[in-house]
Amino acid sequence: MLTRNTIKFVKSLQQKKFRREHALFVVEGGKSVQEVLASDWPVHSVYATEAYLPALATGLRRRDLAPVVAKAAELADMGSYEQNDSATAVLEMPMPRPIRFDQGDYVLVLDDIRDPGNLGGIIRSADWFGVRQIVCSPETAELYNPKVIAASMGSFLRVPVHVAALSGFLTAHADRASYGTFLAGADIHQTQFDRTGGMLVIGNEANGIGDDIAALVRHRLTIPRFGHAESLNASIATAIVLDNLRRQVAV
């Protein structure tokens, strides 16, 4: 039975301090909850409307989970969506894992991406283009922010996101090719990417790649501008970089 205290608890997970305290976060929307149940991500609890339970039946049986039935208004009350007539899940935060950097891999390195929507979109693009790892600076938006989770459209389940000091990470892998996006650099359309793998560095939405990180980037790339916009959205820029990479380097 869904109680007011449970609704209040799940709602509290919209705030970073409570997510950290309980090591839990929220996924909203029926399709996203279905993806969660089909994955191996640890699930704390599932809340769903009576009408939506059949859509979750296979996943719930697979997980041997008993859902809590809720009204659409209660689902909306416990989350960030204005309307939710399907389902919400509370997931456990996994323990940090080592960064795997296998031969041939390209790792996305995010320097101070502050906008949660951008981070979620980048994770989604990484999933689309077969990037297996993302490394974020400590200043980058938190993975478990509800806006990041929503914008990733379930891709957070498949693309591990790590937090690390970027200078240390880049220095430790200085033997690998490193590419970064800058306003002035080599035309990305003319760039030959290293087929043995490397690192793709994406900078802050307003300030780009910080000077200390830029000093460690071996190849500076530019996406040519044909119009008059001052800059590109970080998520869009990442997708363009990954598209050019995959034209040359297969997964």
Q: Are residues 29 and 84 in contact, defined by beta-carbon separation less than 8 angstroms?
A: yes
What pLDDT sits at residue 96? 86
- Indicate whether 84 and 119 sit together in one domain: no
In the predicted model, what is the mean pLDDT of the chain? 96
| Phi, psi for residue 95 in degrees, rounded to 5 | -70, 145
Express each pLDDT in 51-82 by its tens digit: 999 999 999 999 999 999 999 999 999 999 99
What pLDDT sits at residue 98? 87
Q: Is the pLDDT of residue 1 over 80?
A: no
Determine, yes or no, domain membership for 74: yes
The CA-atom distances, in angstroms, between 218 and each of 128, 156, 179, 196, 214 are 26, 29, 6, 15, 8
Determine, yes or no, domain membership for 13: yes
Contacts of 219 by beta carbon, 8 Å cutoff, 6+ apart: 177, 178, 179, 180, 185, 186, 191
Contacts of 143 by beta carbon, 8 Å cutoff, 6+ apart: 119, 136, 149, 156, 161
Query: Which CATH number characterizes residue 152's domain?
Result: 3.40.1280.10
- Indicate whether 75 and 148 sit together in one domain: no
What's the pTM? 0.94
Query: Which CATH number characterizes residue 44's domain?
Result: 3.30.1330.30
- Indicate whether 129 and 227 sit together in one domain: yes
Residue 50, Cβ neighbours under 10 Å: how many? 9
- Indicate whether 172 and 211 sit together in one domain: yes
Note down the domain range covering 217: 106-246
Closest to 182 in 3D by CA, of 235, 222, 231, 122: 222
What is the C-alpha to C-alpha distance for residues 185 and 227, in angstroms, rounded to an integer? 18
Determine, yes or no, domain membership for 10: yes
Confidence of residue 42 (pLDDT cuts 50, 70, 90): very high
Determine, yes or no, domain membership for 23: yes
What pLDDT sits at residue 102? 86
What pLDDT sits at residue 196? 94
Express each pLDDT in 197-223 by its tens digit: 999 999 998 899 999 999 999 999 999
AA identity, residue 138: P
What is the SS3 assignment for 160? coil
Domain count of the fold of the chain: 2
- Indicate whether 115 and 232 sit together in one domain: yes
Confidence of residue 230 (pLDDT cuts 50, 70, 90): confident
- Indicate whether 48 and 118 sit together in one domain: no
Express each pLDDT in 162-204 by its tens digit: 999 999 999 999 999 999 999 999 999 999 999 999 999 999 9
Express each pLDDT in 94-141 by its tens digit: 988 888 888 889 999 999 999 999 999 999 999 999 999 999 999 999
Express each pLDDT in 83-98 by its tens digit: 999 999 999 999 888 8
Supply the DSSP string of 79-130, one letter for each residue: SS-S--SSEEEEEEPPPP-PPP--TT-EEEEESS---HHHHHHHHHHHHHTT
Q: Which percentage of the chain shows pLDDT scores above 90? A: 91
What pLDDT sits at residue 74? 97
What pLDDT sits at residue 97? 86
- Give first-to-last CA distance, the chain, whole Å: 46
What pLDDT sits at residue 18? 98
Residue 108 pairs with which residues in a beta bridge? 134, 200
| Phi, psi for residue 141 in degrees, rounded to 5 | -50, 150
Determine, yes or no, domain membership for 101: no
Mean pLDDT of 42-54: 97
- Indicate whether 213 and 149 sit together in one domain: yes
Give the torsion through C-alpha atoms of 226, 228, 232, 233, to 10 deg.
Answer: -140
- Indicate whether 194 and 229 sit together in one domain: yes
What pLDDT sits at residue 181? 95
